């Protein structure tokens, strides 16, 4: 099965291709607010590199959040529109899980953390051994997350926003700072979670909180 993965919930835009779970190409770019205009070009370039066309695709996988509102909307809008045009289903994926997917073979317990507000973040706890979320994605205070981490002494925190949440080091858990998820991982996850595919019109964003009013700091 040929799968296109799209994730725009973070500061970086991730687009990837996988065939039967094997990653064959990806693009991970820091585009800022140019995601909507660049996504079609990035997708076309990636398909061309793989000697594929849009008509070869059989499934789409899209990151639905949490993360940056503008990026989430851009990724879902493009992915759903493309899937509808191609008459393909869409696998909605947590952007937090996409962020740590390629690390799950190295660590038993992973905690992705994204910036939300000054004292709050988006986070989840993933048990690599069970292949599932021990604590599902949530909008939580830094204090609440520290309390949760007491129950997971083997957890490894992974975040692009370590500087903002410096108290996380008080948990005693190792902290990995990384900037971007993997577009290839997004496509690969589409293969693993193919049974959860929906029609394009059923795909919904996972914002986890209401947007702030006024300019953002993206």
pLDDT in tens, 73-117: 999 999 999 999 999 999 999 999 999 999 999 999 999 999 998
- DSSP 3-state percent helix, strand, coil across the chain (nearest 5): 35, 30, 35
Q: Does 166 lie in the same domain as 115?
A: yes
CATH number of the domain within which 50 lies: 3.30.420.40
* Tokens found for residue 51: 């000697």
CA distance 66 to 124: 11
Tell me what percent of the residues of the chain surpass a pLDDT of 90. Answer: 88
Q: What is the average pLDDT value for the chain, to the nearest integer?
A: 95
For residue range 68-79, what is the model confidence (pLDDT) as tens digits? 999 999 999 999
210 domain residue, yes or no: no
Q: Is 67 domain-assigned?
A: yes
Beta-ladder partners of 115: 121
- Answer yes or no: is 125 within a domain: yes
Q: With contact defined as beta carbons under 8 Å apart, do 67 and 216 qualify?
A: no
Query: What does R_g of the chain's alpha carbons equal in angstroms?
Result: 17
Q: Is residue 40 part of a domain?
A: yes
**What is the model's pTM?**
0.94
Q: How far is CA 65 from the centre of its chain?
A: 7
Q: Are residues 6 and 90 part of one domain? A: yes
Both tokens of residue 89?
Answer: 């289903």
According to DSSP, the residues that pair with 110 across neighbouring strands are 126, 156
Over 70: is that where the pLDDT of 217 sits? no
Q: How remote is the C-alpha of 173 from its chain's centroid?
A: 22
- DSSP-based three-state secondary structure for 25: strand
Residues 125 and 63 in one domain: no
Q: How many domains does the chain have?
A: 2
Residue 13 and residue 44 in one domain: yes
Residue 216 lies in a domain: no
Same domain, 172 and 185: no
208 inside domain: no
Residues 84 and 9 in one domain: yes
184 and 172 within one domain? no
Residues 57-79 as b or e (16 or more Cβ within 10 Å = b) = bebbbbbbbbbbbbbbbbbbbbb
Q: How many residues does the chain have?
A: 218
Residue at 207 is within a domain: no
Q: Do 180 and 11 touch, CB atoms closer than 8 A?
A: yes
Position with higher pLDDT, 140 vs 164: 140
pLDDT of residue 211: 64
Q: Is residue 217 part of a domain?
A: no
Which residues touch 80 (CB under 8 Å, ≥6 apart)? 62, 90, 200, 201, 203
| Residues linked to residue 26 through DSSP beta bridges, in sequence order | 16
- What domain range includes position 48? 2-95+180-202
> Three-state DSSP class for 126?
strand
- The answer on pLDDT for 215 being more than 50 is no
Q: What is the rounded CA–CA span in Å between residue 2 and residue 92?
A: 16
Strand order in the sheet with 13-19: 22-29, 13-19, 2-7, 59-63, 90-93
The verdict on 40 and 7 lying in the same domain is yes
């Amino acid at each position: 099965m040929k799968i296109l993965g799209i994730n725009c919930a973070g500061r970086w835009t991730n687009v990837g291709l996988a065939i039967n779970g094997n990653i064959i190409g990806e693009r991970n770019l820091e585009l800022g607010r140019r995601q909507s205009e660049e996504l079609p070009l990035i997708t076309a370039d990636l398909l061309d590199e793989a000697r594929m066309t849009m008509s070869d695709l059989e499934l789409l996988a899209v990151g639905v959040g949490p993360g940056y509102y503008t990026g989430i909307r851009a990724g879902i809008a493009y992915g759903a529109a493309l899937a509808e045009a191609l008459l393909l289903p869409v696998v909605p994926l947590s952007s937090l899980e996409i962020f740590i997917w390629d690390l799950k073979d190295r660590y038993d317990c992973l905690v992705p953390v994204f910036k939300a507000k000054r004292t709050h973040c988006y986070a989840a706890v993933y048990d690599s051994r069970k292949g599932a979320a021990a604590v599902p994605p949530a909008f939580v205070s830094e204090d609440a997350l520290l309390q949760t981490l007491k129950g997971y002494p083997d957890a490894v925190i992974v975040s692009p926003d370590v500087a903002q949440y410096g108290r996380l080091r008080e948990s005693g858990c190792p902290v990995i700072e990384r900037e971007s998820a993997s577009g290839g991982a997004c496509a690969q996850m589409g293969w693993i979670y193919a049974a959860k595919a929906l029609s394009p019109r059923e795909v919904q964003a996972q914002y986890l909180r209401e947007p702030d009013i006024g300019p953002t700091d993206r």
